[in-house]
Each structure stands twice: as C-alpha cells, then as structure tokens.
Structure 1
Amino acid sequence: MSEVRIKQQQELGQLIQHFSPKDGVFETAIPGLFVICYSEVSEPAYRVYKPSFCVIAQGEKEIFLAQERFEYGPADYLVASMNLPVVGQIIRASEELPYLSMKLEFTHDQILEVINDASVRIIPNENAKRAIFVGQTEQSLIDATLRLMELLHRPEDIPFLAPLFIKEILYTLLKGPYGAALGQIAMEGSNTYRIREAIDQLTAHYDQSIRVEQLAEAASMSLSTFHRNFKEVTGMTPIQFQKQLRLQEARRILLSESAEAAEVAFRVGYESASQFSREYSRMFGAPPRSDVKQLKEMYDPAKSMVFLGD
C-alpha cells in the first residue's frame, strides 16, 4: 500500500473514531451512513445485511453467506447488493488498534438513477451473480469515500453534497470490476432483478408459508431455473433462506422481549415448537433458552443488541 493510501486510511480511521463515542454501530447525520467501532474481536453476529457498501479503515472482518466465506480488511471493500442473512465476525481488533469501519446503505432505485444519469452500460440478460462480493479499494473509491465522510464536519453542506458524493461512490462501483453484478439488481428483466424481487418477498413475508412454485411463477422462471439462479445469488435454497430469516428474527425477539420460545416460534412462522427448537439449536449451537441466557451473560443488554445488529 502506498504512503498516500496509508495516510488516507489513517484519515478515514480518525473520522470514524471521531463520530464513534464508544464501541458500537452509530448512525450519522448523513442518511444511510453508519460508523462502526469495536476494541476487541467478536463472537459471530447473525443479521440481515441490507444493500450496502462497507469499507474498513482498521482491523479485519469475515462474513459468511451460507457456507461461503468473505474476508476483508483496509485494502478491500465489501458490497452486499440485496437483503441477505449473513454471519459476521470481527477477527482483528484491540484496545490499541480498534476495528474501524463505515457502512453506506443504498437502494436499488439509487443504483438505477446512476445507471440512467451516467449512461452506464449494463447488459440485462447476464446470468445471476452472487449478491456479496469483495473487491480491492481503488484510489478513486477511497477518495470518494473520504469526501463523503468529511461532510460530517460540515453538517450544513450535507443536504446538497451528500447525494452527489453517494452517487459518485455508486458510479465508481458500477464502473469497477463488479459493476455488472451490482447493476443487474436494478435492471428490470435480468435474472438477478427477478431473484431480488423474490428475496424482497421472502424478507417481507418471512413468517408466512410461501410455496417456491409461487416465487418461480412470479419471477417468470421455471422451477429448476429459479432454484439455480436463487442459489447462485444467495448460496442457499429459498427454504434455507427463509429459515435463516425466521431464526434470526426469533433470536432478536428472545433477546429484546420477555417471551417464551414456543410463543416466538409461532410468531416467526413455525407450526411446531419442537421443530423450531431443533433448527434454532442447529443454527446457534444451543436451544433458545440456553443460547439467550449465554448471550445476556456475555454482553450487557444494551451493548449486545447494538453488537448483534452490526
């Protein structure tokens, strides 16, 4: 890494620390922009990633989408292009050198706006691509990221300049090596766009019984084509995807509310409390009551809820 890049990483880290009053995830004055700081390595955190662009200034993190592992650090960026249930873990952090990162959430409409305004050429009929990717952070991308972050020191400029700088970041991503994979999510008629709509439907109605045949029909795909493209995008089947959504939401409810496991099982869409307990244990390593007790002992409630949402 060049001296210029090292200096920029340090500047980014200083900005993140300045707007992070303590360990945790903090929303900034720029809509969709978050800063994250942790002074120790973490336990695995289960959450649903929204479409987002993430850059690490210091430390390292790993993300699991199904069985696929993505590791990234200060030389890399990560993009999640859809709502995805993942497992994340900070693997390098300390009191002296805390984990420092920023996350910019974006919408599919913002991607489409940049494609249209900048006349970025995206071929809509390409095969579906994985919805998470890690790339090397080029100079133009870190420049644009710093411009956006530095706006936090000039709140009066945010309403006008933030949308422009966000467009610049998305434009740079679309022009980069993974631009086609990102652009597909906004191109109506592409296989990725159709799978994205199915994912949005599953995410919105995770607690309801949805037949895969219905999703395939809504996507205008045969059942076999739908299964193949869904797995290419997410690394899992639609049933596995919905199960992860249900179990993550169940864990969140159990941690934040005084509710019985059986009640939560029915709230997230399970018809059998025993099946819920088995699948919960398989995913989190312990039955609901034991898992939640252990988590509450490991973290104080306020901190652990923020941490699990990282």
Structure 2
Amino acid sequence: MYEQIYEQQNELAKLIDRYSGRDGTHTTAIPSLIFARQSHITEPNYSIYNPSLCIVVQGVKEIFLAQERFRYSLADYLIATVNLPTTAQVIETSTDIPYLSLKLEFTPSQILEVLRDAEIRVNPKKDAKRAMFVSPVESSMLKSVIRLARLLDSPQDIPILAPLFTKEILYRVLQGPYGSRLGQIAIEGSYTYRIRNVIEHIMHNYNQSFRIEDLADIVNMGVSSLHRHFKEVTAMSPIQFQKQLRLQEARHLLLSESTDACDVAFRVGYESPSQFSREYSRMFGFPPIEDIKRLRAKDDQRINV
C-alpha cells in the first residue's frame, strides 16, 4: 500500500512540476485546479483559504488558523470547508526537491450534489466543528486526483470529465473520517451552514461595524450560540475574524497602490490610525510603512537574483 501511494505521489509530482515549471502559484486549464511550486522556504503568507482540498506531494507546509497550527506533508491532505483567514508557510523544500502541491476548489452545491447522489446522510443538528482539518491521504483518493490531473494532457476531455472526477474526489473525502464536517457546509439549517452565511456577511462588509446581535438575527441564532459555534468553526470570534480581514486587505492595498497608511486605515474600517498601526504591527511584526518597505526590498532581491 505504501509503495502504491509513493508511486502515485511521484506521478502527481511530475505532473505538477511539468505544468508549473517555476516557483509560484499556477492556474491550470481545469478552472478549479491550482498547482504550487516553491524551491525556497517562504515568508509567512497571509491570505483567505477558500473551500478547497490541498494535497502536498513534495515538501512540508504549515498553516496557522488563529493560534492553531496545521502541518501537512506528502502523507496528508488538508481541507478548508469555509473561507478562513490564515497564515501559511512552506517550511521544508529545496532546489533539488521543491515543494509541490495542488489545490482543488469546490462549492457547497457540489458537496450537496454528491451527498444526494450517494445518499449520504448528514445530521444537521450536530454541533459545528473546526472548518479546517488534516487527514492521512489514501491511495483511492490519489487515484482519483491523478485521473483529474491527467486531463491536462487531453484538454478536449476537460469539460466532460473534470466535473465527474471532481465529484469522485469529493465523494472520497465525504467517505473519510472527517466527511461529516465537509457535509455540514451544504446542509441548510446546520450550524456550520449558518456560520458560513455569517462569514460571507462579514467578508462582504468587513469595513463596516456590526453588532453581534445583528449577526445572530441574520441566521436566526442566539447570541451565545452564534459566538460559540463561530469560534468552533473558525478558531476566532467574529470581531477577530473581521480584524484579520481588515488587516490582510490593508496590507494588500499598501503593496498594490502605494497609498498613505492613514488613508488605508480608514478604507478598511478603522477610525483610529494609531489603533490600526498597533494592530498591524501585532499581526505582521512591523508597522505598516516599515513592513511594506521590507516586502518590496525582498521582491527587488528576487527580481535581481
């Protein structure tokens, strides 16, 4: 079994390396399939992990969700079932054996389709669980993933076969030890389903103040129940979740628009530039302007190497 898994990972590694070619994140002809390659240990990357399956075939990656750490390598797969602000870093790689991984994005409607077709029952009354988990990868899942990735060699088959192979992969996850966690995002009325709606509301209105009572009303939950289940799903409170979104967007704006830090603070919802600077420094390790100068200097070094 281990020899079979090793051979499957080796085939996936060759496919990812062939279709990426250089360090970075690479979209493919299959819209939901993304490859990543890194030959050097990376800086912490602050981003939103959207609902997806991630498989590493070379190297090791570490992800922080609030203070909780998820470490996964070629023996594991990682699932995020809702949008989550995270910190990710490739921690083991080399120029000879670069970090290689794939990401398969999915939607709740795709999960619901598999649940219905396979007649998989999910209890909607179960308490919400963490929306990110790591599980050992199995040969049956790798076989399904290889079938999907091989379609890149025959692009004319992608429109018909990619949805079928994606469905097969999701079925494998739903049959696994954490399948009920994944299924909960698609079951209307479940706690995870309702927390997903709260997350979407915060993401679309991250620069606006809110009352926890208003969020609870949106999804017909009590305040204490919302707070408890939200923290169980995301490892943070709604306010902490919003803060992560604001600071990530602020950093993006500062890097992309070369604008004033005070202006960015107001744009992402802060009323006090000094509070923005303190919280930015706490999250990224440096005040806004110093952090952006540092990041740009690193980019210039990479360009000139």
TM-score (norm 1): 0.96
> d(CA) in 2 for partners of 1:249 and 1:140?
39
Tell me what 2:188 maps to: 188
Q: Alpha carbons of 1:125 and 1:15: their partners in 2 closer, same or farther (altered >3 Å)?
A: same
Q: Which amino acid aligns with 2:288?
A: P
The gaps in structure 1 that reach 5 residues or longer are 304-310
SS at match of 2:228: helix
Distance 1:160 1:56, change over 3 A: same
Q: Residues 190 and 299 of structure 1: is their aligned pair in 2 closer, same or farther, counting only changes over 3 Å?
A: same
Q: Are residue 261 (structure 1) and residue 268 (structure 2) matched? A: no
Shift of 1:21: 2.5
CA–CA separation in structure 2 for the residues paired with 1:237 and 1:264: 24
Matched residue, 1:218 = 218
For 1:89-108, list aligned pairs within 5 A. Answer: 89-108=89-108
Aligned residue type for 1:262:
C
Residue 15 of structure 2 aligns to a residue in which SS? helix
Q: Which residue is 2:124 aligned to?
A: 124
* 1:49 equivalent in alignment to 2:49: yes
Cα deviation per residue 1:10-68 (whole Å; 9 max; x = unaligned)? 10000000010310000000011100000011111100011010000100001000000
1:137 corresponds to which residue?
137
CA distance in 2, matches of 1:20, 1:279: 36
CA deviations over 1:132-182 (Å, ceiling 9, x no partner)? 000000111111111111111110000000000000011111111100000
Contact 2:145–2:169 (CA under 8 A) maintained in structure 1: yes
**For the residues of structure 1 that align with 2:125 and 2:301, how far apart are their CA atoms?**
47
Q: Distance in 1 between matches of 2:276 and 2:237?
A: 19
In structure 1, how many angstroms separate the alpha carbons of the residues matched to 2:68 and 2:256? 29
The answer for the alignment partner of 1:164 in structure 2 is: 164
Q: Given residue 72 of structure 2, which amino acid in structure 1 is its aligned partner?
A: Y
Residue deviations 1:209-256 (CA, integer Å, cap 9, x gap):
121111111121111111110000000000000000000011011111
Distance in 1, matches of 2:178 and 2:286, equals: 38
Which residue of structure 1 aligns with residue 252 of structure 2? 252
How far residue 264 of structure 1 moved from its aligned partner, in angstroms, is 0.8
Identical columns (%): 58
Q: Which shows bigger deviation, 200-209 or 177-186? A: 200-209
Residue 120 of structure 1, CA deviation: 1.2
Counterpart contact for 2:93–2:99, Cα < 8 Å: yes
RMSD in angstroms over aligned alpha carbons? Answer: 1.2
- Residue matched to 2:35: 35
The alignment partner of 1:96 has SS state of coil
**Counterpart amino acid of residue 111 in structure 2:** I
SS at match of 2:128: coil
For 1:186, what is the secondary structure of its paired residue? coil
Whichever residue aligns with residue 93 of structure 1, its letter is T
Task: Find out whether 1:85 has 2:71 as its counterpart.
Answer: no
Structure 1 residue 299: Cα displacement: 2.0
Counterpart-to-counterpart distance in 1, 2:123 and 2:301: 47
Quote how far apart the aligned CAs of 1:271 are. 1.2
- 1:208 CA drift (Å): 1.2
Give the TM-score normalised by structure 2. 0.97
Paired positions, count: 303
Deviation at 1:302, TM superposition (A): 9.3
The separation in 2 between residues aligned to 1:300 and 1:131, in whole angstroms, is 37
Q: In the alignment, is the contact (CA less than 8 A) between 2:5 and 2:138 conserved in 1?
A: no
User: Where in structure 1 do 4 or more consecutive aligned residues deviate above 4 Å?
Assistant: none
Letter of the 1:210 partner, please give it. Answer: F
Separation of aligned partners in 2, 1:212 and 1:19? 46
Alpha-carbon separation, structure 1, partners of 2:142 and 2:122? 24
Higher relative contact order (CA 8 A, sep 6+): 1
Unaligned 5+ runs, structure 2: none
Residue identity in the other structure for 1:152? L
